[in-house]
Amino acid sequence: MRVTSLALAGTLAALSGCRSGPAPLPPPPVTAAQPPAAVQRTPAPKPRIALVLGGGAARGFAHVGVIRALEQEKVPIDLVVGTSVGSLIGAIYAADRDSFDLEWTAFKLERDDLFDYGVITAVMGMGAAKGDKLEEFVRSHVKVQNIEDLKLPFAAVATDLNWGTKVVLDRGPLARAVRASSSIPGVFQPVQHMGKLLVDGGVIDNIPISVARAKGADIVVGNVYDKYGTRNPLYRVMVDGYFRSLSRLLPRPMPRRVLEVGCGEGHIAGWLTERAPSTSLAALDLSPGMLARAGQRYASVEFVCGNAFELPFASRQFELVLFLEVLEHLPDPRRALKEARRVCSGQLVASVPREPIWRLLNLLRGAYWRRGGNTPGHLQHWSWRSFRRLLQESWTVEQTATPLPWLIARCCLKGDA
């Protein structure tokens, strides 16, 4: 009986101890799963689109068609850059952004609206027309007076006649800027503007893509023609013939130090580096924008900004100097050839369009009728005889080639033949 009482007492004590311990914790509350927070994305910056309008009377009306097509496709234009007739069309469009009015203005345009020919002007001046009518035409068709007041940012490209350099006109009197950009040498008198004597911008840069790029354009649209990249089968045959003839005239082996004057976007410089990778090649041009793009394509070439009349190189620094499709654009090719002699210790290879074949081919394809077939920007014109005479003034002509429609000559310094 006593054992039973003790057992009962122990059981009660154990139960009492369990009641005095901590209470169990409640289970955690169940919460619904939260959706992940949405990631905020910064919208990509809108690309800046530039409309670039080049020179050439026939191309002027094509510009209007390009602008109409861009409007129909709702392509936004943020900047307009023009050379020669492209500056005229571009200025009118930048003022109103209305392609219909632009097309109507172009349709009504007559030669007498722009050209003020005169016998005295032709005899006493540097052009057959003064250009006053052209300037007045712009004033009468554009309401604003200054470039800064246009609805779209605008720049006209002209050429400094004294220095052969490109001049970008993006502020000041609009009509004067268009007149300067459109003053074709021999047709209009040069224009005094901003302390410079200016002529048609096509002399230096007929399609001023580099100006648009320098002003921040991400995309460039307009009438652009790349003769080296053309798919036209006939022109492709002629370009291939040019490069075959050039290849035969280049000295072999290629000299160690070579300079190309007027390299543009570096097409020929790239071609040369593929043929002679061990050659140290320098390539010079006036356009920083073109040189920047060329440098991205051809990293092994030393691209230098400068002009053909004052080459930024030491005397006799190069064993070969190239003037390929450059001399016809220069107001004073003799001065350029003299400067080439200074930096050259060996040979010169030069090429130019062959006249009158070049003009005839332009006329046959319906180009530049009002210019008599002359390509915009061509200030000089040579037959084979006249080109040879030019070279022989300071060089000895060694070998020649005539791939249609060009003239190519390899020369050496006089006394080295």
Q: Is 200 noted as a catalytic residue in this protein?
A: yes
Choosing from 78, 84, 99, 210, the catalytic residue is 84
Is residue 341 within 8 A of residue 394, CB to CB? The reply is yes
β-sheet with 395-401: strand ranges across = 302-305, 280-285, 257-261, 318-324, 344-353, 406-413, 395-401
What token pair was written down for 14? 């154990």
- Return the number of other C-beta atoms located less than 10 Å from residue 151's C-beta: 13
In a 13 Å sphere around the CA of 194, the CA atoms on its Cβ side amount to 19
Buried b (16+ CB within 10 A) or exposed e, 238-272: bbebbeebbeebbbeebbebbbbbbbbbbbbbbeb
CB atoms within 10 A of CB 113: 15
The DSSP bridge pattern shows strands 196-200 and 219-222 to be unpaired
DSSP state of 354: B
* Residue with token string 């799963």: 33
Catalytic member of 200, 205, 210, 287: 200
- How many C-beta atoms surround the C-beta of residue 176 within 10 A? 22
Catalytic residue set? 84, 200
